[in-house]
Each structure stands twice: as C-alpha cells, then as structure tokens.
Amino acid sequence: MATDKSNFQLVTNGILQENPIFKLALSMCPAVGISTTVMNGLMLGTAVLFVQVFSSVTISLLKNFIHPRIRIPTYTLTIATWVTVIDLSLAAYFPAAYAQMGIFVKIIVAFAIITMRLEMFACKEPVSSSFWDGLGMGLGFMVGMVVIGLVRELLGSGAILGHDVLGFKPLLFFILPSAGFFVVGLMMGFFNWIEKYYAARKRGNR
C-alpha cells in the first residue's frame, strides 16, 4: 500500500505538519540540551538526517526479509549500526564540533522518532518513498534544532555560527542549559498560538 503523497509532500510533511520537535514532541533531549549554537544544531541535525535516511532506506529494502516477530530488534540493530557509523565519522573528521556535542550523537540510537518512523512508514512503503520521508523527518529535526539554536545563540552570546553579530551578550541565561527548556516551551506555545489563530481565521472566513 503505497502512500498517495508526492515525494515533495513527504518532505514538507516532515518539516511542517509532523515536525518531530515542535509537533510530535519527540527527540527533545538534544533540542533542550545542546541547542546552544546554530553549529551544534546543524551538526546534530545532519547526524540525525543521515541516520534517519539510511535506516529508512535499509528497512524498506529489507522489509520482506525481516520476520514480523523480530522487527523491533531489527530496527534497533539497524539504527545502532548507522549511529555507530556516523559517530565514528564525525569524531574523525570534525573533532572540534563533535567534542561540543558530547554523547548526544551516540544517544541518537534511543530516539523514539526514528524507530517510530520505521515502524509506521518504512516497513510498509517502497524504497523511494521511505527515502523522501526519512529526508523530510531529518530535515524537520534539523530545522527545529537550528531555529532553537539561532534564538539561543543570538540572545545568549550575541553571535551566529560563532560570528559576533550584536557585539554584546544580551542574556547569558540563554546559553545556560536550563534555558533550553524555556526556549522550547515558549516556542511550542508560540507555534500552538499561530496554529489556533489561523484555524480560527479559516473558520471565520467560511
């Protein structure tokens, strides 16, 4: 049963309608923990994108080979393999950025979002749809992380990607870890409010 969405729609779905961080509220640990700079967001976003895409494609390729009763262990094995690969690669080729992220790259293996995506989508859909869906989810995660990172880095250290933009540090609080909770909470509330507003307008226009 193939999905009836086009490939482009799959991607935008991942970024907007079913954004992992803001809508599905999954994989929030890194969103709160290390979204202190845009660079971190990009790096971790890329890692998650890589893992999501490769896992989705792998599972989709092997969906007939996997016995239904052991599908969860198989998903776990696949995800763990790709996480190990990206972890080793990042550590070797981008050591400075990797050091910033600590163990969060390894923790990708425990992200509910990836397993859920495999369970709900990749094991039923053909390879190409799985690829685009994985891409969408990964990009959605990256976008979320970058947005939060942007807010925190700008307001916390007055810089973007390490380049001083404001010339002063507005509120050190924002790059302290606990601010992650506040920023995410406020942004979620804000998105909810926007949604309600547009929904009300739509209803009002009918």
Site residues, another protein (CB under 8 A): 25-30, 32-33, 36, 62, 65-67, 69-70, 72-74, 76-78, 80-81, 83-85, 87-89, 91-93, 95, 99, 103, 106-107, 109-112, 115, 156-157, 169, 172, 175-182, 184-186, 188-190, 192-193, 196
**Torsion of the alpha carbons at 64, 70, 72 and 76, rounded to the nearest 10:** -90
CB of 24 to another protein, least distance (A): 10
CB of 128 to another protein, least distance (A): 22
Paired with 160 in beta bridges are 163
Query: Which lies closer to another protein via its Cβ, residue 75 or residue 131?
Result: 75
Query: Which lies closer to another protein via its Cβ, residue 6 or residue 200?
Result: 200
Name the phi and psi angles at 164, rounded to 5.
Answer: -65, 120
Query: Which lies closer to another protein via its Cβ, residue 128 or residue 192?
Result: 192
Q: How far is CA 32 from CA 6, 148, 201, in A?
A: 33, 9, 32
Instruction: For residue 186, count other CB atoms closer than 10 A to its CB.
Output: 11
CB of 28 to another protein, least distance (A): 4
**How far is residue 152 CA from its own chain's centroid?**
17
Query: Which lies closer to another protein via its Cβ, residue 112 or residue 165?
Result: 112
Instruction: For residue 98, count other CB atoms closer than 10 A to its CB.
Output: 18
